[in-house]
């Protein structure tokens, strides 16, 4: 959790920082705003929206406290893009540091400009890989891009200490060159309008008859990586025989029909609910009328929903493949292997007795399970100011 006021008080530099990023997602708002309290920040977005999520961008952008610009023109190749105007943006802002993303064309272009001597700034990139993805890189192209790119960068921004250690050991990078900055959100912002969240949550509880039930909540896209049809098939016995257990899948996506077919096939129409996709307060209210959270992904670079669930006091039944799995300590939930039937079923049998049925919906009785992290955040981001 990030405490903006503490970060503001401890700000010790105002170096100029330019970040090139794909598009704004709601779970990035607090991290970007926190960075802007430490640096003179500008972010250049190269897409108008997240490619697989149609977020309300005007609402999200209104919550940012720093300068934003867009570069939308340029060639596309197999899902990858190059945007014209990056060099112009660097010359205009004259930043001290420039950050690209992943091993993209944008990051390669920054390296190219620096090797030509056209820019002299420190350059880095953000890497959203989990430790699982680091160890089992998804393509030969990415494997070789990673190998060649890392040695030309001044620093990396990664999501966990595990990933930092991987780069230190595999590529012999010094810890001072790796910023550990997980995608954490501000609990106060998410929970600030408690009365309204409770009102919406009570409406959900009444509409879907959730009171007195143990509600296992999932939030996210209905895509193969989330492994929802498999999770339903694996847990169908527990769901059908436990009168007080309900699985709520909040979201939508390409696999919605496949999920619905699995529900119908196993006679779980009253046990697995698909209320749709939600944003903002309408989404956060779902956490208040749930008993626990589940993330059964077989591939998950981070999983910001784990952080959100913990912020709303929900224990998490979390895939070991999620980058955010390290947030789930034994007192906050349980890890499992969604690719192993026995591990999934046995894990869920252990997890369900630890969570309460939904009763009175009261946000004050659900304190956040996320510790503050502002001191670590400041220390990590101060690494790029070191000469």
What is the secondary structure of 93-115 as a DSSP string? H--SEEEEETT-HHHHHHHHHHH
What is the pTM (predicted TM-score) of this model?
0.91
Are residues 213 and 159 both part of a single domain? Answer: no
Each residue of 232-276: pLDDT tens digit? 999 999 999 999 999 999 999 999 999 999 999 999 999 999 999
In 40-96, where do the E strands start and end?
40-45, 67-70, 76-77, 80-81
Return the exposure string of 151-174: e unless at least 16 CB atoms fall within 10 Å of the residue's CB, then b.
eebebbbbbbebbbbbbeeeeebe
The answer on pLDDT for 175 being more than 60 is: yes
The CATH number of the domain holding residue 106 is: 3.40.50.2000
Q: What is the mean pLDDT of residues 275-302?
A: 97
The answer on pLDDT for 11 being more than 50 is: no
Are residues 358 and 263 both part of a single domain? Answer: yes
Confidence at 78, pLDDT banded by 50, 70, 90: confident
Each residue of 44-71: pLDDT tens digit? 999 999 987 889 999 999 999 999 999 9
Q: What is the mean pLDDT of residues 367-384?
A: 90
Q: What is the pLDDT of residue 52?
A: 75
Are residues 258 and 156 both part of a single domain? Answer: no
Are residues 179 and 228 both part of a single domain? Answer: no
Are residues 196 and 165 both part of a single domain? Answer: no
Q: What is the pLDDT of residue 2?
A: 55
The answer on pLDDT for 304 being more than 70 is: yes
Cβ neighbours for 188, distance < 8 A, ≥ 6 positions apart: none
The Cα 129–Cα 324 span in angstroms is 10
Q: Express as a percent the part of the chain with pLDDT over 90.
A: 90
Q: What is the pLDDT of residue 312?
A: 98
Enclosing domain of residue 193: 187-365
Q: Express as a percent the part of the chain with pLDDT over 70.
A: 96
Are residues 38 and 178 both part of a single domain? Answer: yes
Are residues 81 and 162 both part of a single domain? Answer: yes
Are residues 123 and 204 both part of a single domain? Answer: no
CA distances from 356 to 94, 199, 313 (A): 54, 20, 12
Chain mean pLDDT for the chain:
94
The answer on pLDDT for 387 being more than 60 is: no
Each residue of 112-168: pLDDT tens digit? 999 999 999 999 999 999 999 999 987 898 999 999 999 999 999 999 999 999 999
Q: What is the pLDDT of residue 37?
A: 94
The answer on pLDDT for 385 being more than 70 is: yes
Q: Which two tokens stand for residue 137?
A: 């890189």
SS3 for 288?
helix
Confidence at 6, pLDDT banded by 50, 70, 90: low
The answer on pLDDT for 296 being more than 70 is: yes
Q: What is the mean pLDDT of residues 338-357?
A: 97
Are residues 22 and 170 both part of a single domain? Answer: yes
Q: How many domains does the chain have?
A: 2
Counts for the chain of helices (H) and strands (E), in that order = 16, 15
Are residues 138 and 275 both part of a single domain? Answer: no
| C-beta neighbour count of 35 within 10 angstroms | 21
Are residues 160 and 202 both part of a single domain? Answer: no
Lowest mean pLDDT among 4-13, 94-103, 144-153: 4-13
Are residues 275 and 342 both part of a single domain? Answer: yes
What is the Cα 132 distance to its own chain's centre? 16
């Amino acid at each position: 959790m990030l405490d903006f006021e503490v970060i503001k008080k401890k700000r010790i530099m105002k170096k100029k920082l330019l970040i090139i990023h794909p598009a704004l997602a709601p779970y990035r708002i607090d991290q970007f705003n926190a960075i802007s309290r430490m640096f003179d920040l500008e972010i250049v977005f190269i897409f108008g929206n997240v490619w697989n999520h149609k977020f309300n961008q005007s609402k999200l952008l209104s919550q940012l406290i720093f300068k934003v610009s867009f570069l939308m023109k340029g060639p596309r190749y197999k899902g990858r893009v190059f945007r014209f105007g990056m060099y112009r943006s660097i010359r205009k802002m004259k930043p001290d540091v420039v950050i690209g993303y992943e091993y993209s064309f944008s990051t390669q272009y920054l390296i190219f400009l620096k090797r030509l001597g056209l820019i002299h700034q420190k350059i880095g990139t953000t890497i959203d890989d989990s430790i699982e993805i680091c160890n089992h890189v998804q393509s030969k192209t990415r494997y070789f891009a990673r190998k060649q790119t890392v040695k030309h960068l001044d620093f990396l921004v990664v999501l966990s200490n595990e990933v930092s250690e991987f780069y230190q050991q595999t590529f012999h990078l010094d810890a001072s060159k790796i910023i550990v900055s997980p995608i954490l959100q501000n609990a106060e912002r998410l929970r600030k309008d408690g009365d309204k969240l409770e009102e919406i949550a009570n409406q959900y509880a009444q509409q879907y008859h959730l009171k007195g039930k143990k509600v296992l909540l999932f939030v996210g896209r209905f895509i193969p990586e989330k492994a929802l049809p498999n999770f339903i098939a694996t847990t169908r016995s527990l769901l059908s025989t436990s009168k007080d257990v309900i699985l709520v899948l909040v979201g939508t996506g390409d696999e919605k029909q496949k999920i619905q077919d699995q529900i119908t096939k196993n006679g779980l129409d009253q046990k697995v609910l698909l209320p749709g996709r939600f944003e903002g307060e309408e989404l956060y209210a779902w956490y208040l009328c749930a008993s626990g959270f589940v993330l059964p992904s077989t591939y998950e670079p981070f999983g910001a929903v784990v952080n959100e669930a913990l912020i709303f006091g929900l224990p998490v039944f979390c895939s070991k493949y999620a980058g955010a799995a390290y947030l789930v300590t034994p007192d906050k939930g349980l890890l499992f292997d969604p690719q192993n039937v026995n591990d999934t079923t046995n894990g869920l049998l252990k997890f369900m007795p630890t969570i309460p049925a939904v009763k009175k919906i009261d946000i004050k009785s659900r304190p956040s399970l996320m510790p503050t992290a502002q001191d670590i955040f400041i220390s990590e981001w101060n690494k790029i100011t070191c000469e």
